[in-house]
Structure 1
């Protein structure tokens, strides 16, 4: 589920009571101005005066997630993720300051089971680095980006990263295939690689079908992980969407094992003006560690975005 930027909001753009709107509005405006102003101030120092006018991809997101699994207690996590994206520096380099890079998000199973990519300890993993933007049109050729920097911790942990993306339209038809690949090196954790292939097509104006394949290898655990998912995204209205998912997770090096498979229904609702969202996601799992017996799970998530341009939920 993605977002569509800077779309006029309808009159009925909130589910919150009036007293809550009055409290949230000024707080959100202040924090958004701070995020946007900070990124432009840093960018103006390192780059050009375009920092005052060029759109920034900087944001701050805070979230509260409550997760329950059958036989276990509720797990409560307060998460945060931020990104300062400075697009007007010299030679089209971007200075990136971000918390919790993709390489630190754990196994594919942990990534797939989470509704987002926040962790309660995400502030401990902060990257500062430069990223060189690719020049290619990914619909015609591979779009390649190269980045390097340090993870801010003691001792400092240098890293390098290569990413490639490509988008194909199959036989000029409705099917599109997107490939997203990353190869990374961190001095402390070693090498890692991840590839993602996303094949999808719209069924009609409100429904979209996707088949997603992921594979990941990390030197520190020396295991090849893979996942295969089938998703049907359905728009209910301008503020609500449903996602029906069937997912298989496994590992393979010396032999292949299926670690978990599950069915999930995810409901996502824009509950306030395009920057506050509620997710409800019940799921039925068949994990290997209990001999593939079924286990129910439920995740509730509330998140708030702080950025200059308001995004709306979409498929």
Structure 2
């Protein structure tokens, strides 16, 4: 049976509700307007999200595919104060992910000389899966933005006017809430498109930080419990209704050089990331990029990412913003 998932619904009148999908059935959860509210209650009561949702399940069924098509399903998590959502991620975490990065970063050098990216990948292979309760090799880490950068599963991904590229990164993201006691709690995982500027990154790996300050799309389904260790999906790009690129992608710990627990430990070891009430969206990385296959996207392209055990895909059109920078004021 497909794992349980939580979804967030918004009606035409702005009414917010939570949906619990189990197997092929989905029902609205009574007395729960948002997933964040439900998680806060679960933390205070010492329950799991799944147990609390099941205890408050209504008889009202929800057709999540129809609601998705109607644009009534939101990102799997949000916050009324977007500044209380922190978007971060890790790279070079998947088996095979170093090859594409190494091609992007390699400059004129002797063939046997390893790039910083390849060295970091090898260190992850050697020490990224420590025994439970121990720190392993720390991964590459990046900051992506706050909740203003979150995009829904059917909303456009808008590239800034100064960007040199706007390309997809199909992956998983962990969703976390920091409890009142400062304890990080994993709520679940979501399907994500960690949209990036790979031309900027390729120029110099020290520009990775710039390349990541972009929006990101999150799926509607929050997968509860421990995620499967082997997740397989498909990433494609449509242009004028025609598929111009398609490739399978692998994720989950069986296909990674780090455990999820190790990535989490190295993120939350910093006290600044354990502020009560904050929400964290942490992207776990990917090994599959259309950019590595010399695909160059353009406005109007449609990114489509889908993977079991999720039911609903991400479908995000690439858009380009007009210049938005205004002259700095001196007060």
TM-score band, normalised by shorter chain: under 0.3
- Give the TM-score taking structure 1 as reference length: 0.25
- Give the TM-score taking structure 2 as reference length: 0.25
Greater relative CO (CA pairs within 8 A, separation 6+):
2
**Higher relative helix content:** 2
**Higher relative strand content:** 1
